Chains A and B, each alone.
Chain A
Amino acid sequence: MTGAAIPGLDDVLAAERPRLVRLCARLTETTEAAEDLAQETLIEAWRNGHKLRAPDAVQSWLSGIARNVCLRWARRQGREFDRVLVAGGHVGTAGGYDMTEPPSDFDLDVELERDELATLLDRAMALLPAETRAALVAHYLEDAPQAAVAARLGVSEGAVAVRLHRGRLALRRLLATELREHAAPYGLVAPDRAGWQETRLWCPRCGGRRLGRFDAATGELALTCPACFPEPDAIPDHVTPLETGMPGLFRGIKGYQAALNRLAAWQHAYYAPALVRRAAPCVKCGAQVPLRPGLSPDWQPPPSVRRGAGSFCAATAVG
């Protein structure tokens, strides 16, 4: 019985309820259980209030609890199985585990990313002076032109421009200082000298956090892990438009998880038919070029691939 550890926690929890109901509904893909699961989340949060280290991170803390509550629920529902699927050319659906649906940009992690990002920006905004905040909200969030913002706030357009400029600087400063720890995983903190940013993605080798470099405009995505790949040139995952032929592959994408989903969707769409036809369209001109699956004796895989993973296919694509 330690819910009182954080002053005002009860109020915060009550205010979070609608968001948690929505989150649980998304997590379990059912609305029936969502109310109960949100309630269970709130009770657990209240019981564990003393474990909340950073009171200002209460929303992501609650999301984490909700995730666990929903996972336990899914287990109780018997949504576990242990089976072998033998694929006759393609893989079907088993145990409610949809094996055919290609990845989409809409998925829970991306939604959580967005949700938490919005929360973070809310917090950053709340730390700004009221008049700066009003200008930023009107201009950026409500898409009002500067003149309209000026009229609404009863100041000149020049004054609005100054406020917007100051507001942007102040936001950037907040995200790089007070909120740095929370902002880093969303790529909101200025990258280090080599351009790497901390991400929310886990390293599949050591389980630590991965570093990323992502530029939606150029279609480049790189992921590495400082623990597993200390040499700066050894980048285990690196995608550029040279390989995909798609400079616009990541258009409109903001987070790393969403970028990975988009990439997986592209890879699947490209390689699934290619493996069947033994040919893939050249990424430059579209002409079908033979796919050479299996070990290629003349191909030097990058260091990440060499580490135990010897199989790959190569489509020689000539422009």
Chain B
Amino acid sequence: MTLDQGLLGLVRALPVGWRFAKVHPRRRELPEQVVVAAGRAAVVTSFASFDGSARFAVVSARDTLETLAVHLHGVRGE
């Protein structure tokens, strides 16, 4: 049996991802982007509120999926 977990699900389950979802229950999940971050192959997973006022992106290492950076824009604190 294999337990598979998409990166999207991992990011959603990060406390910061979950918080974003809580503040913006109506949000878009944007397609993953492959980038190079600090010389490493990385994947950007991002979410945006439907009104476009807030964005949230997690940069994960392509090979290990470890979180390299979290970008928040216009996200309300709680």
Which of A's residues lie within 8 Å of B, judged by CB? 29, 71, 74-75, 79-87, 89-91, 94-103, 107-109, 201-202, 204-205, 207, 242-243, 261, 263-265, 267-268, 271-272, 275-276, 278, 280, 283-284, 293-294, 299, 301, 305, 307-319
Rounded to whole Å, the gap between the CB of A102 and the closest CB of chain B is 6
Contacting A at CB under 8 A, from B38-78, are 43, 45, 47, 50, 60, 62-78
Cross-chain pairs A/B with CB under 8 angstroms, 30 sampled: A71-B76, A81-B75, A81-B77, A83-B71, A85-B71, A87-B68, A98-B19, A98-B78, A99-B15, A99-B19, A102-B15, A103-B22, A202-B50, A204-B29, A243-B3, A261-B18, A268-B14, A275-B65, A275-B66, A276-B66, A280-B3, A294-B64, A301-B4, A311-B6, A311-B60, A311-B62, A312-B5, A314-B5, A316-B1, A316-B2
Residues of A within 8 Å of B62, CB to CB, are: 294, 311
Are B2 and A96 in touch, CB under 8 angstroms? no
Closest residue of chain A to B50, judged by CB? A207
Are A109 and B72 in touch, CB under 8 angstroms? no
Query: Which 7 A-B residue pairs are closest in the complex by CB-CB distance?
Result: A308-B31, A96-B77, A267-B13, A311-B7, A204-B29, A293-B65, A202-B26
Which of B's residues lie within 8 Å of A, judged by CB? 1-10, 12-19, 22, 25-29, 31-32, 43, 45, 47, 50, 60, 62-78
A134 to B35, CA, bound (A): 64
Rounded to whole Å, the gap between the CB of A237 and the closest CB of chain B is 8
Are B64 and A278 in touch, CB under 8 angstroms? yes
User: B7: which of A79, A80, A312 is its contact (CB, 8 Å)?
Assistant: A312
